[in-house]
Structures are given as C-alpha cells and as structure tokens.
Structure 1
Amino acid sequence: MRSDQIKKGPDRAPARAMLRATGMTGEQIEQPMIAVVNTWSDVTPCNMHLRDLAEHVKAGIRAAGGTPVEFGSIVVTDGISMGSEGMKCSLMSREIVADSIEMVTRGHCLDGVVALVGCDKTIPAGAMALARLDIPGMVIYGGSIMPGELKGIPITIQDVFEAVGAHAAGKIDEAELTEVEKNACPGAGACGGQFTANTMALALTTLGLSPMGVNDIPAVHPDKAGAVFACGERVVEQVREGQSARDMISIQSLRNAATVTTATAGSTNSVLHLLAIAREAGVDFDIDEFDEISRRTPIIGDLKPAGKYMAPDMFDAGGTPLVIDKLIKAGLVSDTPTVTGRSLFEECAEVNERPGQAVILDFDQALASRGG
C-alpha cells in the first residue's frame, strides 16, 4: 500500500506515534488509509450538509476494513459571489481545491480518496485531483436542493433571478421580490436546475468517477446516507483491487460525458471542466469534440433553466441511468469502466423509468435535434 511509506518499519515509529495521537489504534494504522475530502462549509446550502454525509462515508470505510482520514477544503459559491468582486475567485477556487486534495493525499501517502463535493467548482476539482494522483477513489456529489414553494407553486433560485429582473422592470414591488427570495431555497443542496453543479455531477457519473445513481439522490433524501456509506465500502475494495482513477478517464468516457451533458442541455461550463480533467489525466481531448458531439446529439432532457423540470424530478423519473440508457439505444455512447467495478452499460442494464414521466424524453420527442 502507498501508506506503507509512512507507517511500516522501525524508522516510521515517530509517524505512527503521531497517528496514534489522533486516536488510531495499531490495527487501524495497518489498514488502507482513505482520504475523506470534505468541502463542507456553512457559507452555502450546496455544501452545508457534507459534514453529516462524511460521517456515513467514514462508517462505510471502517465497515470494509479501512481507516478514514478526513480533511477539509474550500468552496466559493457562484450563486452568492456572482455580480460582485468575489466572482473573480470562483474558477480559481477549482485549482485550489484540486491542489489541496493532491497535496494532503500525496503528502501523507494515502491509499485512496473520497471527495465530497457540492457547489460547482468543487466537483471538477475532485476529478482533477483524482486524475493527477491516479489512485483509487471517487467523487461524491452532495446532491440537489429541493424546490421551494410560493403560493402553492414550486420555485427555485432561477425564479429569484427572474424576480430581480421583474422588480427592475417595475412588474413586482420589493415586498413581492422578498417573498420569492425567502421561499426559493428550502435547505441543503446545490442549485436544482441543470446548472453547472448538476451538469458536472451527471458528467462524472458518466465518466465513471462517481457510482451510478448516487449523485442523482437529492441532498435531503433519506436514501443519501446509505448510498454514501456504500461508497465508503467500495473505495476500500478499489484499493484492494488496484483500480485507479485513470482506468476510468479515457477519450471514450470523456466523449460519453460530453454527450450526456449535451443531451440534457447542461451547462456550457462542462466544456472547460471536462477539458481540464482530460488534461490532468493526460488524455488528448480537444474542444472541437464538443461541436462534433453536439451536432449528432439531440436534447432529450426537459430541465431548467431552458426546460420545465429540476434535478429531483429527473431523479424521480429514472435518473442518470435512464438518460444513458436512451443514448445507448441510439448508439451515441460507448461502454467504459466505472468506479463500481461494473461497466457503464452494465450499470444501466436495469432502468427504473417512472411510468408517464416527461423529464427525459424519447428521441422522437426530442426538444431539439442537436445540442447548442
């Protein structure tokens, strides 16, 4: 194991002494040591629940015979910083998060990584760090926020932005704007449309760096805790199997990720993030790929901001497996490895599509014949 460098042999007694000071037993020191990277912060709803999720991840690691080693990183939230000087920090924060994951994991010779992420730049940052390190690991998205409600109508952060415009145009007064503001975001989770966070969560699942279906589960859903517990178990298995991040990141899996983001009318930020992940993994993936993919990929996801539905609606409809299954049947994606040990096609072999759902459409009902 990589961690043997810091814990094996008589000369490592000082390091073991310090590990014992953290509460580790001799048995725990001997086990695979798994980084649990926590981008928790109470500056944003996107990440404010990750401290709780981390406990379930760590419990899963322990149950599988590993030793979790938790440390924190940062988050800068676009939804708060947009329109201010703070927005200059947003994209740069991606590099800081990736660097911090790499530095602590490499600096302590840890055997694997689980990156818990939320607001949008933390998601590609986790993938970039895994690609650099090329060790066992996965990225777990904390999940989407649920919609708010005003006068019996579901509303989201998008409605707040639109209300700002309506107020500026004199269509609503400040009291009405405040009512929208107070009711749009009911609790934990990232912005619920197919904005950058949900787009990249979908992309990383398709890329193979997140277990199928886990990122789909909304932040406050009761199934989230059990799902991330299983992720903790799986990363220990990855260490024992020798599966590493670059096993998943290939030209084929990157094309798959770009195809899925196109099919769901996802954020154009996925272009710069997927290119960055490819570069860290040493894969020659060019920006021209996105144009070629968009020309052959219809939009089948009726998701906000352009469409009607939110990420929790997609989860209820059948989630990422449903989207990929439709693309598989159309011959638009390739079979590639995933962190679960099963292939992408195997993961999508059993799709639970909710009868009558209108979130993910068949190709003959596509909203557009090609992406943007």
Structure 2
Amino acid sequence: MELRSDQIKRGVARAPHRSLLKADGITDEEMDRPFIAVLSSRNDVIPGHTHLDKIAEAVKAGIYMAGGVPFEISTIGVCDGIAMNHEGMHYSLVSREVIADSVECAVMGHAFDGLVCIPNCDKIVPGMILGALRANVPTVFVSGGPMLPGTGPDGEGSTDLNTLFDGAGKVAAGTMTADELAALEDTACPTCGSCSGMFTANSMNCLCEALGIALPGNGTVPAVYSERIRLAKRAGMKVMELLRDNVRIKDILNAAAVRNAMECDMAFGGSTNTVLHLTAIANAAGCPITMADWDAASARTPHLVKLAPSGPRPLIDLYRAGGVPAVMGELGRLGLLDESALTCMGPLPEYLKSCCPPADGEVCRTGENP
C-alpha cells in the first residue's frame, strides 16, 4: 500500500529524514509501517484533560496492535469554566482556531498517514475537527470522557459545575450560606473528565458519534471507567482499519453526517454552542448549513433526552440507557436520519442495526412520548 508517509521515509533523498526518525528510536522495520499521529490536548489545568496521557497510551497500544506506528503530539486547550468572568473570556473561542491550525500543521508537516484526535472540552473538540478536515486523512476521535457527577448535600440527587454557578448566585441573594457553597465546591466536580452535564464538551463529544467519526460510547463512557481505556485502544485499531480501506474523514463527515448530527443535537438538547461549532464544521467540510436549516431540524425533531443543565439527570444516566446509539436508534426508527451516511463503524444502516439499543422510554424517550 502506498502511504503518505513515504514522502518522508522512502528513497535516497530521504536519508536525512530517516536519520531524524531513527533519532526518535524508529527502526527500519517500523519504517515500513503506516505513521499515525495521536493528537492530544493533555494538560494540567483542565480537569477534562489531566488524564489524557492514559487515553493516548491506550490509543498508541491499539495502533501498534493493528500494525501502525503512533506518534504522540500535543496541542493547547482553554477551560471555559476557569476562563469565565475575567479577561480570559476573550481567549476561549479564538483558541478553537489555534487548535485547528496546530492539527493541520502537525499532520501535514510530517505527512502522517492517519490521525487519532483526543480532545475533551469545549473549543478543543471542534478545533480538532476543523484541523482534521483540512488534513483529510483517515481519522478517529476518542475523547477523555465525562466526569462523574457529585452528590447532593443531602445525599440525594446530583451536582455539577452548574450547581456552583447557581450557588454563587444564591449566596449573593442570601438564600444559601457561604459554608453550604464551600461544601458544594469540594464535591460537585469529583473526578477528572469533562463537566458531567450536557454542556458544550459532552455535547460535542456526543455529536462526534452522530457525525460518524467516533466509536459508540465516545460521548458518554465516564472518564474514570476502564471501559474508556478499552474504547481508546479500539479507536487506535479503528484508524488502521480506515487507513486500510482508504476512508478519510471527509468521506464520513459530509452533508448526510451533518444532517444526522443536527437531528441528534435537537433530540438530546445539548449546549447551544453546538450551533456555532457544527455550522463551522459543516462549512469546513464543504456542506454549509444555515440558521434556516437549524430551524427546520428543530421543528421536525422530537426532544427525547433532558439532561443537566436543562433537567435533573446527569450525563451518566444516558450512558446507562445506551448512550448516543440509543438516541440515534430512535431517530432512525422515526425516519429522521439520512441513512446514506457512512460512519467509522460502516454504513449507517448497519450501525443502526448492530450498535443501537431501543430507547428505554425514560432517559431516552420515544418519538410518541417526547
């Protein structure tokens, strides 16, 4: 199989390139394998990203098991929660473009054959998608997963980051004490992972499944579950399968995929930021959408899932009810998905048949009882 990476490792003129690669520890045997970029936004400041080194190691193991050579690369991230209510607010949205540029530079500059993106939070997910579309190589996304919810002060219900925003307002209004707020501060964000409601990060990670560029579970398997590590290994193996079949990201992320993602977005009622990001993604994929398209999707699509912050349920409830595949399965049953779409798991009709459990009627409602 002819590889893009042959540009940096084949022929007499590439002896200097091979010497630099051998300085990385690459052997002659590995030179014959596909080179895969493993692009992570791991850092010490964003809770959703502190553990991405473990996700990256699992992805690299999957790539190696499937016959590729992984190269880990890093990009930046900005935590919307920490950047809020001070000058840092001006840096969150623009970070999306910095991330997109860094993905494009890294993949194109080193002629990688494939790409696995490991984002987790707000602008990082769409930034990586935009960069991957520019590079247009076989690509799989695997996020770091959502954090577990906190437990309410009475041991009932669940808490999350939004509980703190509400709590700060309650203290200011005199309806909560500073000590009560401090107790929530210590418990509402109990693990690593993206904030546990259907905020921007988890909405976008769920939409990666709907777009077909991530494996089932990408948006809902909790960050601290061993299942997340297994998912990451499978993502590494999956990118090698896509490379073998010459399926690039633009073969998957097209007009049909965008329509299906819009349907899922309306069905699970995620962050309104998804309108901003998916519109940019559709434009980059060459299938632009308008506000009229969003309005039409909203009008025809039943609202099936009500999770925090718009409802009382934490995201883990959707995980337990079958995740995004359950939502997609119900939308497919209602005839609302474009079944010409291709996913990283294969054609959408096959995906709906093999990966999608029936709606439970409670966490994921049916179309007859939205």
TM over 0.5, shorter chain:
yes
Partner of 1:21: 23
- State the partner residue of 1:370: none
The residue number in structure 2 matching 1:243 is 247
User: 196, 199, 223: which one pairs with 1:195?
Assistant: 199
Query: 1:267-311, CA deviations, whole angstroms, 9 ceiling, x for partnerless residues?
Result: 111111111111211223223210111011121102111112122
CA distance in 2, matches of 1:96, 1:344: 32
Q: How does 1:144-155 map to 2 (within 5 A)?
A: 144-149=146-151, 150-153=153-156, 154-155=158-159
The Cα of 1:191 is off from its aligned counterpart by 1.0
> After the TM superposition, which of the residue ranges 312-321 and 147-156 deviates more from structure 2?
147-156
Q: Does 1:338 align with 2:328?
A: no
The DSSP-based 3-state class of the residue aligned with 2:77 is: coil
Pick the aligned partner of 1:3 from 2, 5, 19: 5
Q: How does 1:37-116 map to 2 (within 5 A)?
A: 37-116=39-118
Q: Secondary structure at the match of 1:197?
A: helix
In the TM superposition, what is the alpha-carbon distance from 1:358 to its structure 2 partner?
A: 2.0
SS in 2 for 1:79: coil
The percent of aligned pairs where both chains have the same amino acid is 38
Partner amino acid for 1:338? Answer: T
Question: Which residue in the other structure is 2:299 paired with?
Answer: 295
Correspondence for 1:217 among 214, 221, 228: 221
Q: Which residue of 2 aligns with 1:142?
A: 144
Q: Does 1:324 align with 2:318?
A: no
Look up the SS of the partner of 2:104 in the other structure: helix
2:365 corresponds in structure 1 to: 361
Quick check: 1:123–1:201 contact (8 Å CA) kept in 2?
yes
Q: Number of residue pairs matched? A: 364
Distance 1:304 1:345 in 2: 30
| Cα distance, 1:216 vs structure 2 | 2.2
SS at match of 1:348: helix
1:91: how far off? 0.7
In structure 2, what is the Cα distance between the partners aligned to 1:116 and 1:254?
21
User: What is the root-mean-square deviation in Å for CA atoms of aligned residues?
Assistant: 1.3
- Aligned counterparts of 2:207 and 2:366: Cα–Cα separation in 1: 20
* 1:76 partner amino acid: V
Q: Check conservation: 1:157, 1:191, Cα contact below 8 A.
A: yes
Shift of 1:354: 8.2
- Does 2:265 correspond to 1:264? no
1:308 to 305, 312, 335: 312
CA distance in 2, matches of 1:283, 1:40: 31
Q: What letter corresponds to residue 151 of structure 1 in structure 2? A: D
How far the C-alpha of 1:346 sits from its partner, in A, is 1.8
Query: Partners of 1:187 and 1:34 in 2: how far apart?
Result: 30
1:72 shift after superposition: 0.3
- Deviation string, structure 1 residues 26-54 (Cα, Å, up to 9, x no partner): 11122100000010011011111101110
Is contact 2:359–2:366 with CA below 8 Å preserved after alignment?
no
TM-score by length of 1: 0.95
Q: Deviations over 1:173-216 (max 9, x none)?
A: 21111111111011111011111111111111111111222332
- Which SS does the other structure have where 1:234 is aligned? helix
Does structure 1 conserve the Cα–Cα contact (< 8 Å) formed by 2:140 and 2:238?
no
Gaps of 5+ in 1: 367-372
Return the alpha-carbon distance in structure 1 between the equivalents of residues 84 and 362 of structure 2.
32
With over 3 angstroms needed to count, the CA separation of the structure-2 counterparts of 1:72 and 1:104, relative to structure 1, is same
CA positional deviation for 1:331: 1.1
Q: Is the 8 A contact 2:329 2:358 kept in 1?
A: no
2:168 aligned partner: 164
- Structure 1 contact 112–135 (Cα < 8 Å) conserved: yes
| Corresponding residue for residue 175 of structure 1 | 179
- The alpha-carbon deviation at position 352 of structure 1 amounts to 3.7
Per-residue Cα deviation, 1:34-83 (whole angstroms, up to 9, x for no partner): 00001001101111110111000000000111000111001101111111
Q: List, as ranges, runs of 4+ consecutive aligned residues in structure 1 with deviation greater than 6 Å.
A: none
In 2, the alpha carbon distance for the partners of 1:281 and 1:103 equals 18
CA distance in 1, matches of 2:224, 2:247: 31
Equivalent residues of 2:120, 2:205 under 8 A apart: no
Local SS of the residue matching 1:115: strand
Deviation at 1:344, TM superposition (A): 2.4
Shift of 1:353: 5.1
60-69 or 268-277: bigger deviation: 268-277
- Secondary structure, aligned partner of 1:364: coil
SS at match of 2:210: helix
**TM-score of the superposition, structure 2-length normalised?**
0.95
